[in-house]
C-alpha cells in the first residue's frame, strides 16, 4: 500500500518528508507523547495508537467463531482472494494454502494465543515436510520456485473504454502539450507479462510475447523527469528480454510486466524537485533519452558511471521507453542533435553510445591500427565496423556467412572471417578446466590466427571487440 493511501486509510499516523526519516519522525512523536512528569499525554498521536493497539489485542485474544463461519468465508470468496487461491492450486501450492487458511480459521475460532501456537505447529510441519518446506527451499536456491500470483488483473476492454472516455488514458499518437494538458493516470505500453492465471513469465517470440497493455503513469522523484515519448529505440536487448534468453528478467524484479525499449526521444512533461532546481531541464523541452541509469548519489559516479550500479533501462529495470510516459533520471536527458528526424534522433543512442565508449574510452583506438570485431554484420557489431572504419581503423569482422562478410566489406571493413569455415569451425570451444589441456586447446585456435594474419599483412589485431 503506498504511503499516501496508508495515511488516508488510517494505517499510519504521518509520513516522513523532506529531510526527515521514519525513525527520526517516530522518535520525535514518541518524545512528544511523554509529559514532563514521565506520564503519557493522552492527546498525543502515539498514545492514541498505543491505546488502540492494546484494545485490539484484547479483542483478538477472544475467540470469534461467528467471524470464522460467516465473514471469513465471504472474504475468502472475494474475487481477488479466489484468484490468488486458484493460482496457488494451479502451481502446486495446495498444501501451503490449506495450512494458511487452517491457521487463520483456528485463530478466530480458538483465540489469538491458541492461534499463534497452532500456526507455529503448522509452520514446523511445513519446514520438515519433504514435499513442502524442504523442496521449496531447494527450489528457491536453485531459482526454480513456482511462480507467485500477479498483483492485479490486467485492465479489461471495458475498463479501457471507460478510461478513454474519462480522459485518463490517451490514444496512441495523441498530441500532448506539456504544462497545458493534464497528465493522465494511465497509459499504453509494450511489454511482456506474467501469465494472469499462473503468474509464470510469458516469454517467447517477440511478435507473440510482447503485448500492448495499460499501466499506471508514474510521477518523477527528486532527480527524475517524466517524458512523453515520441520515438522509442529498438535494440537486440528487447529481443533477449522478451525471449528470456539467457535469463528471465522477471528474476530481477517483482512487477507483473516488463516494459521494453532502451532510449528514444520525447518531451519533458514533469520534473522532480532536484531536477527542477538544477534548471538544466524545463517543462516542454525536447530531449534525447540515453537508457543508461546509475546510482546518482554513489561516490563512484565521478570515477566511472558504469561502476555505480549501472543498468540499461528496459533491459534490467522493467520501465523502458516503449510506453507513452516514461520515467528517466535527469542525466539521461540530453540535447537532440540538429537536422535529424524525430525517428532518427531517437534510434541510435544506446547502440552508438556503447560503441563510442568501447572504442574511444576503453580501447582508446588510434587511426591506422587494426581492430577485430565479433558479430560484425548486425546490430552493435555492424555499427562498430562503420564507426571504426570512419575513424581510420582497418577493420576485420567475424561473421557466419559469405553474405554477412559482404555486409562487413560494404560497411568499410577490410576483411572478414567466416566462423563456420570448416578450417576453423571446431576451434570455438570452452577453455578446458584441466590446465594440462590448455596448450592443446590453444593450438586448436592457430588456424584462426593464421586466417587473420593472411588478411592483415601477417600481423594480429591491435584491438578486439567482443559483445
Proportion of the chain above pLDDT 70, given as a percent = 100
Tell me: do 231 and 376 sit in the same domain: no
Look up the CATH number of the domain holding residue 190.
3.90.180.10
Q: Does the pLDDT value for residue 132 go beyond 90? A: no
Query: What's the grid cell of residue 419?
Result: 566462423
pLDDT of res. 78: 93
pLDDT score for 306:
86
| pLDDT given for residue 390 in this prediction | 97
134 within some domain: no
Identify the H or E element spanning 224.
strand 224-232
Does 50 reside within a domain? no
Co-location of 282 and 366 in the same domain: no
CA distance 304 to 307: 5
Q: Are residues 357 and 335 in the same domain?
A: no
Of 79, 96, 99, give the one whose Cα is nearest residue 88: 96
> Per-residue pLDDT tens for 75-90?
999 999 999 999 999 9
d(CA 213, CA 455): 51
Q: What pLDDT score does 384 carry?
A: 96
Please check whether residues 198 and 257 belong to one and the same domain: yes
**Distances from the Cα of 15 to the Cα of 1, 198, 290, angstroms:** 13, 36, 33
Rounded distance between C-alpha atoms, residue 124 and residue 99, angstroms: 11
Question: Are residues 364 and 335 part of one domain?
Answer: no
* Half-sphere CA count of 106, side-chain side, radius 13 A: 16
C-alpha cell at 310: 549501472
The answer on 334 and 189 residing in a single domain is yes
Bridge partner list, 395: 371
Residue where a domain terminates, one of 293, 314, 347: 347
60 vs 195, residue with greater confidence: 195
DSSP H or E run through 271: strand 264-271
pLDDT in tens, 413-435: 999 999 999 999 889 999 999 99
Specify the pLDDT at position 18: 80
* Whether residues 245 and 261 fall in one domain: yes
Q: In whole numbers, what is the pLDDT of the chain averaged over residues? A: 93
Q: Which of 376, 378, 339, 359 is nearest to 452 (CA)?
A: 376
Tally of domains in the chain: 2
132 and 126 Cβ atoms separated by less than 8 Å:
yes
In sign, the C-alpha dihedral spanning 225, 226, 230, 236 is: positive
Residue 208 lies in a domain: yes
First to last CA, the chain: 41
Average pLDDT of span 374-387: 95
Residues, the chain: 467
**435 and 308 share a domain?**
no
| Same structural domain, 411 and 378 | yes
Q: What is the pTM of this model?
A: 0.86
Q: How far, CA to CA in Å, does 272 sit from each of 287, 429, 453?
A: 16, 50, 55
Asked if 226 and 335 sit in the same domain, the reply is yes
Nearest CA to 197 out of 159, 150, 242 is that of: 150
Q: What is the pLDDT of residue 275?
A: 97
Predicted pLDDT at 411: 97
Does any domain span residue 66? no
The domain in which residue 419 lies consists of 352-465
Longest CA pairwise span in the chain (Å)? 93
pLDDT at residue 1 tops 90: no
The count of other CB atoms within 10 Å of the CB of residue 340 is: 14
Which pLDDT tens digit goes with each residue over 142-197?
888 899 999 888 999 999 999 999 999 999 999 999 999 999 999 999 999 999 99
**Residue finishing a domain among 294, 316, 347:** 347
Residues 209 and 322 in one domain: yes
Is 253 among the domain residues? Answer: yes
Look at residue 239 and tell me whether its pLDDT is greater than 90: yes
| Domain co-membership, 339 together with 358 | no
Q: Is the pLDDT of residue 2 over 90?
A: no
- Identify whether 235 is part of a domain: yes
pLDDT at 223 over 90: yes
C-alpha to C-alpha distances, 447 to 65, 88, 450, 462, nearest whole angstrom: 81, 56, 5, 18
Q: What CATH number is given to the structural domain containing 356? A: 3.40.50.720
Domain membership of residue 47 (yes or no) is no
For 125, phi then psi, to 5°, come to -60, -40
In a domain, 301, yes or no: yes
The residue among 347, 375, 391 that closes a domain is: 347
Q: In this model, does residue 338 exceed pLDDT 90?
A: no
Report d(CA 314, CA 238) in Å as an integer: 8
Shortest CA distance to 363 belongs to which of 382, 332, 384? 384
Q: What are phi and psi of 249, to 5 degrees?
A: -70, -15
Amino acid at each position: 500500500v503506498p504511503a499516501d493511501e496508508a495515511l488516508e486509510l488510517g494505517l499510519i499516523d504521518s509520513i516522513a518528508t523532506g529531510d526527515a526519516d521514519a525513525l527520526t519522525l517516530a522518535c520525535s512523536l514518541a518524545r512528544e507523547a511523554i509529559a514532563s512528569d514521565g506520564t503519557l499525554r493522552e492527546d498525543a498521536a502515539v498514545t492514541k495508537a498505543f491505546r488502540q493497539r492494546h484494545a485490539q489485542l484484547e479483542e483478538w485474544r477472544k475467540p470469534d467463531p461467528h467471524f470464522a463461519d460467516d465473514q471469513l468465508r465471504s472474504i475468502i470468496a472475494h474475487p481477488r482472494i479466489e484468484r490468488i487461491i486458484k493460482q496457488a492450486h494451479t502451481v502446486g501450492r495446495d498444501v501451503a494454502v490449506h495450512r494458511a487458511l487452517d491457521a487463520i480459521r483456528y485463530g478466530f475460532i480458538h483465540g489469538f494465543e491458541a492461534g499463534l501456537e497452532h500456526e507455529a505447529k503448522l509452520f514446523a510441519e511445513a519446514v520438515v515436510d519433504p514435499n513442502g518446506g524442504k523442496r521449496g527451499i531447494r527450489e528457491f536456491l536453485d531459482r526454480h520456485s513456482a511462480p507467485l500470483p500477479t498483483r492485479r488483473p490486467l485492465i479489461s476492454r471495458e475498463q479501457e473504454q471507460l478510461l478513454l472516455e474519462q480522459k485518463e488514458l490517451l490514444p496512441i499518437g495523441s498530441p500532448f502539450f506539456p504544462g497545458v494538458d493534464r497528465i493522465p493516470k494511465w497509459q499504453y505500453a509494450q511489454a511482456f507479462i506474467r501469465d494472469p492465471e499462473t503468474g509464470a513469465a510469458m516469454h517467447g517470440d517477440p511478435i507473440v510475447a510482447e503485448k500492448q497493455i495499460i499501466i499506471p503513469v508514474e510521477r518523477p522523484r527528486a532527480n527524475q523527469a517524466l517524458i512523453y515519448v515520441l520515438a522509442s529505440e529498438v535494440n537486440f536487448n528487447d529481443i533477449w528480454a522478451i525471449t528470456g534468453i539467457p535469463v528471465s528478467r522477471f528474476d530481477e524484479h517483482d512487477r507483473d510486466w516488463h516494459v521494453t525499449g532502451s532510449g528514444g526521444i520525447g518531451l519533458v512533461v514533469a520534473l522532480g524537485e532536484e531536477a527542477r532546481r538544477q534548471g538544466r531541464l524545463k517543462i516542454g523541452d525536447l530531449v534525447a533519452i540515453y537508457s543508461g541509469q546509475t546510482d546518482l548519489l554513489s561516490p563512484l559516479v565521478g570515477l566511472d558511471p558504469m561502476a555505480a550500479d549501472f543498468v540499461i533501462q528496459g533491459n534490467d529495470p522493467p520501465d523502458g521507453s516503449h510506453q507513452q510516459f516514461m520515467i528517466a533520471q535527469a542525466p539521461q536527458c540530453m540535447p537532440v542533435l540538429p537536422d535529424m528526424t524525430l525517428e532518427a534522433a531517437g534510434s541510435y543512442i544506446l547502440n552508438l553510445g556503447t560503441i563510442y565508449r568501447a572504442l574511444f574510452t576503453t580501447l582508446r583506438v588510434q587511426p591506422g591500427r587494426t581492430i577485430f570485431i565479433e558479430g560484425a554484420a548486425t546490430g552493435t557489431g555492424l555499427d562498430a565496423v562503420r564507426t571504426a572504419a570512419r575513424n581510420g581503423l582497418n577493420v576485420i569482422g567475424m561473421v557466419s556467412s559469405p553474405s554477412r562478410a559482404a555486409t562487413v566489406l560494404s560497411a568499410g571493413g577490410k576483411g572478414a572471417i567466416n566462423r563456420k569455415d570448416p578450417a576453423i569451425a571446431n576451434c570455438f570451444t570452452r577453455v578446458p578446466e584441466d590446465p594440462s589441456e590448455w596448450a592443446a586447446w590453444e593450438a586448436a585456435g592457430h588456424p584462426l590466427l593464421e586466417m587473420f594474419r593472411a588478411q592483415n599483412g601477417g600481423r594480429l589485431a591491435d584491438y578486439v571487440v567482443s559483445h
